[in-house]
Amino acid sequence: MREELQKYIDTIPAVRDVSQLKETFWINEKKIPNAEKEITMLRPEQIEDARKRLERFAPYLEEVFPELKETHGIIESQLREISGMKDFLNTAYGAGIEGRLMLKMDSHLPISGSVKARGGIYEVLKHAEDLAFEAGFLRETDNYRVLAEPRFQEFFGKYTVQVGSTGNLGMSIGIMSAKLGFHVIVHMSADAKEWKKELLRNRGVEVIEYEDDYCAAVEQGRKNSETDEMSYFVDDENSRNLFLGYSVAGERLQKQLEQQNIAVDSEHPLFVYIPCGIGGAPGGVTYGLKQVYGDNVHCFFTEPVHACCMLLGMATGLQDQVSVKDLGIDGRTDADGLAVGRPSAFVGKVVEPVLSGIATIEDKKLYDLMRGLLDREDIFIEPSACASFAALIRPKDLSGYVEKAGLADKMKNATHIAWATGGNMVPEETRKAYLSMGLA
């Protein structure tokens, strides 16, 4: 396979760089103005449908998760300005950030402490609703609080939910499915952290461990599920439902920016940086943001050097027909949420006309950024989430994009949002270990 890829290595500088395990900043030349309206694989009404479904479930979620009392069952995170971190990036990395730097704290999302609490939980709720509708036990106009009654747990208990995961998706699917009463099996790849498996087992989730990577865990989960007609497989490689769950973030972010009196328009561009594994989370968020802000939002994905699957798939145009392993890259990274070697089969195509670019980052920098954020802002996020700063610490490449987009004189009015995708469930001991990583 490496031979077949040689022509891409020879002709596309970003592919050459990733093949040499260099940090890379790829600008998407296929981006088209106003293209979000022309995406046909999904429709904006589907975001609306997802938003309404989450609202229907809110009374149930409020009932069964005490941490959702305050928001009345809505799973949302804070958007916080981090000027101390901006100072750190400008000083330690010469980032030259002019406008405002903010953190979207999905690291602190209730229930499962990562961005997967958007897509993962949404997909489980959708499946539960489908089953309950079909059985005639629930109607759209009911107060969904009834789902907390034992008769529903009994009902869902006849069904199984399965998922393959590097950790965080398993946490969201596992916790939510178990709460509803499903039998749930999480197939965990070798990258998954021990504490996540433990936490799930303690909540009654069946965890099956694999020596192999993420794709292998997904494959086995899919096979297992196919042999059982009562089983539903959450398919991270293809799922539209996961994607739509993430995309609801677009409108939610718009509300938060409005509440904080932060303008986004042609004079005030918005830059958003989202860590990418298989692509569902950053793809869904990007799709949602593009529907709201169109050309005034500039979305970048970020990946570890060793798991640069989306960059490889998009830059070559091969999408899911290529794996980082085909380039001899091992896919191993401490950013466990991003340890994916082959991108989603459909996300790359959906975001192709709207994505601005992809930056990759070395693992050792993730720890430095983690310490910087903790020192300056007193916020802890996990290694995967620290990748959200990958593009900001490459000021030359970023200004190349900015100049081409004709935004150079507007950057002092810009808002940058680093999407912190996980962290607050990391146990104290693991945090300490992370914080001492890479120090001499």
Ligand X SMILES: *Cc1c(COP(=O)(O)O)cnc(C)c1O
Binding residues vs ligand X (CB under 6 A):
114-116, 168-169, 275-282, 337-338, 340, 382, 384-385, 421-422
Q: Cβ closer to ligand X: 166 or 291?
A: 166
The H-or-E segment that residue 303 falls in is strand 297-304
> Closest approach of Cβ 113 to ligand X, in Å?
9
Q: Cβ closer to ligand X: 183 or 187?
A: 187
Strands 206-209 and 183-188: parallel
User: Number of C-alpha atoms within 13 angstroms, CB side, residue 180?
Assistant: 30
Q: Cβ closer to ligand X: 18 or 132?
A: 18
Reported residue count of the chain is 440
> Closest approach of Cβ 60 to ligand X, in Å?
24
**Any idea what DSSP says for residue 409?**
G
Dihedral pair phi/psi, residue 416, rounded to 5°: -110, 130
Amino acid in position 226: E
> Closest approach of Cβ 160 to ligand X, in Å?
22
Measured distance CA(227)–CA(146) in Å, rounded: 31
> Closest approach of Cβ 202 to ligand X, in Å?
20
Yes or no: say if 330 and 262 are a contact pair by the CB < 8 Å rule.
no
> Closest approach of Cβ 420 to ligand X, in Å?
8
> Closest approach of Cβ 409 to ligand X, in Å?
33
Amino acid in position 427: P
Q: Cβ closer to ligand X: 181 or 282?
A: 282
Q: Cβ closer to ligand X: 85 or 402?
A: 85
Measured distance CA(143)–CA(401) in Å, rounded: 49
Yes or no: say if 330 and 307 are a contact pair by the CB < 8 Å rule.
no
> Closest approach of Cβ 243 to ligand X, in Å?
9
DSSP β-bridge partners for residue 103:
80, 418
Q: Cβ closer to ligand X: 110 or 337?
A: 337
> Closest approach of Cβ 16 to ligand X, in Å?
24
Alpha helices in 135-213 (DSSP H): 150-156, 168-180, 194-202
Q: In terms of C-beta density within 10 A (0-12 exposed, 13-18 middle, 19 or more buried), how is residue 395 classed?
A: middle
Return all residues near 146 (Cβ < 8 A) that are at least 6 apart: 60, 138, 152
